[in-house]
Amino acid sequence: MAKYKVDICGINTNDLKVLKNDEMILLFKKYKNGDTKAKEDLVYGNLKLVLSILRKYNNRTDNMDDLFQIGCIGLIKAIDNFDLSHEVKFSTYACPMIIGEIKKYLRDNNSVRISRSIKENAYKIVKEKELIATKENREATHSELCKNLNLTDYELFLATNSLKEIMSMSEPIYNDGGDVIYLKDQLEDKKDIYSKEDYISLKEALKEIKEKERYIINSRYIYGKTQMELSEELGISQAQISRLEKSGIDKIKKLIL
């Protein structure tokens, strides 16, 4: 097959049917009543949804056939778990599940190896986020993920970052029809900008500021917490978090510069 082209054996993808909403509802009712043919029709009627999602991943792998099959696994899981009482469009429900399967496949098959413990924590975090989103219709906070999963801030940080997609340095980020700008062209060479003395000065300066300011700065810039998460954790307003953060940074600048 041609690179980045998706071939489905025996099927012309241009002729794939897209189901209307009323057709979808009828097929789901039939499937829930045991009609396996209805499930087949739901799968074929949503293959274009999988293909539309694959477009953003066409530079992530040379084998788009494999990625299409993985996307179809996500589609089938979505069909099996979809409930008409949710009162949302099936595509809205299915897209995150399809994308989730694709991302999991890409993570497990990329050249960057991640330890088993970090992977396990990452999967636990995803499940916990989904559980809270389903039950309470909101995003899980940093602090409750740590508490519910018995993870430290740093363990949560490592696991969350392992879920991020790997980008190639040769990833094109802009093309006006002429010269292409790649990701590597936009990365600053920070070699030798900071000396060992700079880090020692920063460490000493952190000791001189107030404990709460130090905690906020460490949480924000080491563990990646948001001001809103710190607001909930410390029981103060986001505006207060912002002021304490700015105050701490200003003091550090005066001590170092």
Residues 71 and 99 in one domain: yes
CA distances from 249 to 127, 180, 246 (A): 36, 38, 5
pLDDT at 244: 92
pLDDT at 102: 87
Which residue range is the domain that position 243 belongs to?
A: 196-256
pLDDT at 185: 59
CATH number where 221 lies: 1.10.10.10
* Domain stops at, among 54, 87, 110: 110
Higher-confidence residue of 85 and 29: namely 29
How confident is the model over 151-186, as pLDDT tens digits?
888 888 888 877 766 555 556 655 555 555 655 555
Residues 6+ apart with CB under 8 A from 129: 139, 140, 145
Residues 103 and 1 in one domain: yes
In 3D, which of 76, 118, 131 has the Cα closest to residue 101?
76
How confident is the model over 212-248, as pLDDT tens digits?
999 999 888 888 888 888 888 888 888 899 899 999 9
Q: Are 186 and 177 contacting, i.e. CB atoms less than 8 angstroms apart?
A: no
Residues 136 and 233 in one domain: no
**Average pLDDT score over the chain:** 79
pLDDT at 171: 60
Residues 85 and 1 in one domain: yes
CATH number where 15 lies: 1.20.120.1810
pLDDT at 166: 58
pLDDT at 4: 40
Tell me the residue type at 95. C
Query: pTM here?
Result: 0.45
In 3D, which of 149, 232, 134 has the Cα closest to residue 157?
149
pLDDT band at 5 (very low <50, low <70, confident <90, very high): very low
Based on its alpha-carbon atoms, the radius of gyration of the chain, rounded to whole angstroms, reads 24
Question: What does the DSSP 8-state code read for residue 180?
Answer: E
Both tokens assigned to 39: 């499930």
Residues 6 and 106 in one domain: yes
For 96, the 3-state DSSP assignment is helix
Structurally, how many domains does the chain consist of? Answer: 3
Distance CA 60, CA 77 (A): 23
Residues 4 and 97 in one domain: yes
* Domain stops at, among 85, 110, 135: 110
Q: Are 62 and 3 contacting, i.e. CB atoms less than 8 angstroms apart?
A: yes
Q: Are 17 and 45 contacting, i.e. CB atoms less than 8 angstroms apart?
A: yes
pLDDT over 50 at 3, yes or no: no
Residues 229 and 137 in one domain: no
* Domain stops at, among 55, 79, 110: 110
